[in-house]
Amino acid sequence: MTTTETPGLLRRILDYSSRADPYPLYAELRKTPVARQDDGSYVISTYRELTDILHNPHLSSDTRNLSQPMAGAEGQTAPAFINLDPPEHDRLRRMAMRHFGPPHTPALLTGMEPVLATTVGGLIDDLTDKERIDLVDDFAYPFPVTVICHLLGVPREDEPRFHLWVNDLINSIDYDPKTDPKEKLDKGVQARMDLREYLGGLLAQRHGRPGEDLLSRLANDDGPDGRMTDEEIVSTANLLLIAGHETTVNLITNGMLTLLRHPQVLQRLRGEPDLVVPLVEELLRYEPPVHIIPWRAAYSDITVADTEIRKGSQIMLMLAAGSRDPDRFHDPDRFDPDRRDNQHLGFGSGIHLCFGGPLARRETQIALTELVRRLDGIRLVDDPPPYRRSPILRGPVHLHVERSAG
């Protein structure tokens, strides 16, 4: 049993004060690869143990397998595939994938590239004569939201409505019963219901009307696995809408922040646009948009790194700590876009590997290339910038930059 970790370390990581730089705490955490917490849960933070457990069929993503029920679980009528295990996970993900990628729809993403480029171009057009820019509100947020709305078939003009729900929902994910008022949790439950109702309304209009967007396709498709129920479609759309912008906004923002902190790399990217490909991979390792998978459950007893985790235990996976593990990555705290063998955990691993990863990659590649090409002479106003609350989906809430005169 490994219980040598510093008491309260996880609490310090989750505490907002460490949001700007959790990495030294991750290093401390990695000294105990599998750390048992006072409440009986486990935190895994080293690369090999993380990749092992992500391929372990006894690790469940279904919170109903936790021996102590999760706070705020009410209102979760039908879990989306991210919170399900095989075979249900596989079936629903496969049915959603039919309309998003290979093998059934392999050219969707490359076909979207002109839309991505136009959207990026249009947003940057509006920035070029501004002296002060918030790269989050003015770019990194509206870009992926426009794309995911287009993809799903959600009206872009409804964004102010679902933005609020998504915010409340995300806030409720890092609910802490010891410090948070219960209203934070209630707000999340309400937001979840509101968002579902909204998506359900959109779905109702799609039945019998075949269209190109994902909602229409899911509503009218009869593939080899049959058709999803309306409840399943709403859960899937809900997941993709949230994940489709809450994570990409962080990746793009973290990317610009990292580039502004590494001006030589930024300069290189300007002259060498191909660099963006390995650079985004390094970003996914070095400043990933998702830091933690908080609620996995031991479906049966699991042994990891000589630690036995009992059936029903909660397991927290510290992906961002794993991607900085010096036992796997040479000089892990260095941002090195030329890094080889960069098998990071930025999108997770195993059957739950990020569904939208390829889209997020292309969005970020195009966004960073164009931002760097068209906005010259920008500098950070605040370093570190203000961060969002969440330690799970971690990123700046604003990223203000100023153009130098001339």
Which residues of this chain interact with another protein, rule CB under 8 A? 51-52, 55-58, 60, 62, 65, 85-87, 90, 94, 101-103, 106-107, 109-110, 274, 277-278, 280-281, 299-302, 341-343, 347, 349-351, 353, 357-358, 361-362, 365
Q: 50 or 234: whose CB is closer to another protein?
A: 50
- Helices 230-246, 88-97: axis angle to 10 degrees equals 70
**What's the CA angle centered on 157, arms 153 and 160, to 5 degrees?**
110
Rounded least distance, CB 230 to another protein, Å: 25
Q: How far apart are CA 189 and CA 237, in angstroms?
A: 17
Rounded least distance, CB 388 to another protein, Å: 26
Q: 200 or 223: whose CB is closer to another protein?
A: 223
Q: How far apart are CA 139 and CA 250, in angstroms?
A: 11
The secondary element (H helix, E strand) that includes residue 182 is helix 182-206
Q: 181 or 224: whose CB is closer to another protein?
A: 224
Q: 162 or 347: whose CB is closer to another protein?
A: 347
Q: 76 or 190: whose CB is closer to another protein?
A: 76
Give me the residues paired with residue 304 across strands.
307
The secondary element (H helix, E strand) that includes residue 244 is helix 230-246
Rounded least distance, CB 109 to another protein, Å: 5
Give me the residues paired with residue 132 across strands.
402
Rounded least distance, CB 44 to another protein, Å: 15
Rounded least distance, CB 244 to another protein, Å: 15
Residue type, 211: G
Rounded least distance, CB 343 to another protein, Å: 5
Closest CA to 100 of 148, 67, 133: 148
Q: How far apart are CA 18 and CA 283, in angstroms?
A: 20
Q: 167 or 342: whose CB is closer to another protein?
A: 342
